[in-house]
Chain A
Amino acid sequence: MKSAVVVFPGINRERDMARALKLISGREPSMVWHADTALPPATDLVVIPGGFSYGDYLRCGAIAARAPIMDAVRAHAAGGALVLGVCNGFQILCEAGLLPGVLMRNQALKFISRDLFLRVERSDSPFTRGYNAGQVIRVPVAHGEGNYVADAETLARLEDDGRVLFRYAAPDGSLDPAWNLNGASNAIAGIVNAGGNVLGMMPHPENHVEPEMGCTDGRGLFAGLVEALDRAA
């Protein structure tokens, strides 16, 4: 799997992401600067990592979404190739119009840094084939604005089309408002675009990939992508 990690000024989880990609795909990702206008040739997966691009000033992801590299990311996505946005990356993909909706301030108006539980809603997506549908995984979140909001029509469409891949859940997988800490609509933690090739998610699977660090629940996402690309090849 040949991956490219897009780096905007103020992004700060690019090293975490690069480490996870290398560990699981066995291949060092290319780091692509925001001012570039093209992705490295034959890129399979574009990743927009977490952080505070442009300090989250104006709106989260707003300024990054308009950076020169984003046209190349849009073209990559339009061709059906894979794009993953995590945390600030999710916010950027929403601002760039690649995903519907918006991430608002957390319900309690405070930054949240802790492990949460995600229920994997389906396993037939390239992003989730490393998991079983209904499986519960433990992954950290670290965000102040992760409360997913979209209009009723958009939410209905996302649900009808099965585009919600991850939902905040209790450890047993049941949906419980007490475990939907940021207050996201329908407890949405991650969604894909209509083509199923662009995923945005708030939690950080890249921080849970090493057994010696205590949890490997995030591995499935990357391992699944590697497998999906191998099969396609």
Chain B
Amino acid sequence: MKARVTVTLKSGILDPQGKAIEGALRLLGIEGIASVRQGKVFDIEIADGDRAGVETALKKAAEKLLANTVIENYRVEVLP
């Protein structure tokens, strides 16, 4: 089984990286971009377990390590 955990900044939290990237895209002449916010993607291979158990484990992983829940949100997807 494969899974993907996506970590993004909570809305309202300043994203200096996203801001700098947004400015750079504008400098490169790429049009139509209103704003950019960046995050992290973790592709995770699951050794074994049922879908619900895996989701619980990954949520725990995100809470404890992958995301800084002070400033970040996360999303867990178990891929088919």
Chain A residues within 8 Å of B, Cβ to Cβ: 54-55, 57-58, 63, 66-68
Q: How far is the CA of A63 from the CA of B27 in the complex (A)?
A: 10
CB distance from A97 to the nearest CB of B (A): 16
Q: Are B28 and A58 in contact (CB under 8 A)?
A: no
Q: How far is the CA of A29 from the CA of B38 in the complex (A)?
A: 37
Does residue B20 face the partner (Cβ distance < 8 Å to A)?
Answer: yes
Q: Are B20 and A55 in contact (CB under 8 A)?
A: yes
| Chain B residues in 8 Å Cβ range of A58 | 17, 20-21, 24, 38
Q: How far is the CA of A55 from the CA of B38 in the complex (A)?
A: 14
CB distance from A31 to the nearest CB of B (A): 20
Q: How far is the CA of A151 from the CA of B20 in the complex (A)?
A: 30
Majority-rule SS of B interface residues: helix
Q: How far is the CA of A63 from the CA of B25 in the complex (A)?
A: 9
CB distance from A95 to the nearest CB of B (A): 12
CB distance from A155 to the nearest CB of B (A): 27
Number of interface residues of B (CB under 8 A): 8
Q: How far is the CA of A200 from the CA of B17 in the complex (A)?
A: 25
| Chain B residues in 8 Å Cβ range of A57 | 16-17, 20-21, 38
> Mind listing 9 A-B residue pairs with CB under 8 Å?
A54-B20, A55-B16, A55-B17, A57-B17, A57-B20, A58-B20, A58-B21, A58-B24, A63-B24
Interface contact tally, CB-CB below 8 A: 23
Chain B residues within 8 Å of A, Cβ to Cβ: 16-17, 20-21, 24, 27-28, 38
Q: How far is the CA of A66 from the CA of B21 in the complex (A)?
A: 11
Q: How far is the CA of A66 from the CA of B27 in the complex (A)?
A: 9
| Chain B residues in 8 Å Cβ range of A54 | 20, 24
| Chain B residues in 8 Å Cβ range of A55 | 16-17, 20
Q: How far is the CA of A68 from the CA of B24 in the complex (A)?
A: 11
Q: Are B27 and A67 in contact (CB under 8 A)?
A: yes
| Chain B residues in 8 Å Cβ range of A68 | 27
| Chain A residues in 8 Å Cβ range of B24 | 54, 58, 63, 66
Q: Are A63 and B17 in contact (CB under 8 A)?
A: no
Chain A residue with the shortest CB-CB distance to B15: A57
Q: How far is the CA of A58 from the CA of B38 in the complex (A)?
A: 9
| Chain A residues in 8 Å Cβ range of B27 | 66-68
Interface centre among B20, B21, B27 (most CB of A within 10 A): B20
